[in-house]
Amino acid sequence: MQTFVWDQNFVTGLTSVDEQHRRLVHLTNALGESLISGCATDSRALEALFGQLAEYARNHFDDEERLMREAGIIPDHLALHQTSHRGFIAQVSAMWGTRESMSNPAEVLHGFLASWLGFHILGEDQSMARQIARIRAGETPAEAYAIAAAPGDPATAALLRAMRNLYLVLSDQNRDLAEATLQLSEKVAERTLELSEANQALSDANRQLELLSRTDGLLNIANRRYFDERLEEELHRAAREQEPLALLLIDVDHFKKYNDTYGHQAGDRCLREIAAAAHSVVSRPADLLARYGGEELGILLPNTELNGANVLARNVCAKVAALQIPHSTSTVTPYITVSVGVAAMLPDRQADSDRLVFAADRALYSAKKGGRNRVCSA
């Protein structure tokens, strides 16, 4: 559906202005079609289309105002245009930002744009064009304004007033909706502040909840669910960018014996210290340390080859050994140690994350079978 079909009624006689109006009509039709048909399911495509319309309107307004200044149109009339221009940009941007709270956003936005475009071209800019033509013909700006500011016949004047009133009504409705939305948001924020120990806004609370859903409650590092999500993401990214991806699986040696000897509370403290030691060697923002399960940790290392992963694995072993947590029933040393399995791959688009996990798990099994407190790589 096209809201506007260009014809001679839209022509102002100003070549650059008419070309820009044609472009505005096209962009408005395209956005209206996308909104009303519901075919544009990609929100980024809609955002891009709206951004293109808003940016083009700004440029169009700048050109019009420059044209009026150069022609010498009276300052009061120029100021009216400037106010109208700024008001439209602010209004349509506010409506676009609050469209999710509208019951019928497509109809509201489409009606607003349709009424504005008709009033702008047939009302504001036709008047501007008539004044510029008279000034160029030798009349003073004041004379041109007095004669050309109003439409030539009562019927046209009535139609333009109706279009302007519709535009203003839609603007008022949107302002009321925005105020109601703001009041509701303030009430929600107040209630959230009362319930939140952190005394944060609702958006902060949501981000905190998301963070908690990704975090292991005991060790305060990523949990297994988030680890699995990131593994898939990094595998696809590595395949797309043709970069290596490495994985470390870390197991605490004889941890069951430790729990049996010192108790589960001591075991929890032990795991927390080991996690902190491992975290101290994971320095890049993209690297991920997570609790893989029980006493096992996993470290995901994007853009890391096998040699680099082995170096980091040995650093983890050294950091844990330096803690010197007593383990009297260990058959390895009198202190807590860890075994690490390392694997790395350069994945293609058919790569399976299970392959990388299986390789690291097999390497970990070799480290434990080889006497523990060591690093083995696949």
Give residues with Cβ within 8 angstroms of 367, minimum separation 6. Answer: 339, 340, 341, 374, 375, 376
Decide if 19 is catalytic.
no
The two three-digit tokens of residue 60, written as one number: 């169009």
Q: At residue 368, does pLDDT exceed 80? A: yes
pLDDT of residue 261: 96
| Strand ranges for 253-363 from DSSP E | 288-293, 296-302, 338-345
Distance from C-alpha of 245 to C-alpha of 304, rounded to nearest angstrom? 6
Read off the pLDDT of each residue in 40-63 and give the average, rounded to a whole number: 82
Distance from C-alpha of 333 to C-alpha of 372, rounded to nearest angstrom? 10
pLDDT of residue 51: 87
- Cβ distance 19 to 60 under 8 Å? no
Q: At residue 189, does pLDDT exceed 70? A: no
Query: Comparing 170 with 79, which gets the higher pLDDT?
Result: 79
Report pLDDT digits (tens) over 100-112: 777 777 777 777 7
Q: At residue 54, does pLDDT exceed 90? A: no
pLDDT of residue 115: 75
Q: In the chain, pLDDT over 90 holds for what percent of residues?
A: 50
Distance from C-alpha of 308 to C-alpha of 306, rounded to nearest angstrom? 6
Residue 191's pLDDT band, with cuts at 50, 70 and 90, is: low
Distance from C-alpha of 52 to C-alpha of 250, rounded to nearest angstrom? 51
Q: What is the 3-state secondary structure (H, E, C) of 22-47?
A: HHHHHHHHHHHHHHHHCCCCCHHHHH
Which of 47-61, 105-119, 254-268, 348-362 has the weakest average pLDDT? Answer: 105-119
Q: At residue 297, does pLDDT exceed 80? A: yes
Report pLDDT digits (tens) over 197-227: 655 555 665 666 777 789 999 999 999 999 9
Q: Which of 64, 234, 295, 296 is catalytic?
A: 295
User: Mean pLDDT across the chain, nearest whole number?
Assistant: 85
Which of 208-212, 251-255, 351-355 has the weakest average pLDDT? Answer: 208-212
Sheet holding 375-377, edge to edge: 288-293, 296-302, 245-252, 338-345, 375-377
- Cβ distance 222 to 282 under 8 Å? no
pLDDT of residue 329: 96
- Cβ distance 249 to 295 under 8 Å? no
Report pLDDT digits (tens) over 58-101: 999 999 999 999 999 999 888 988 888 888 888 788 778 777 77
Query: Comparing 134 with 164, which gets the higher pLDDT?
Result: 134
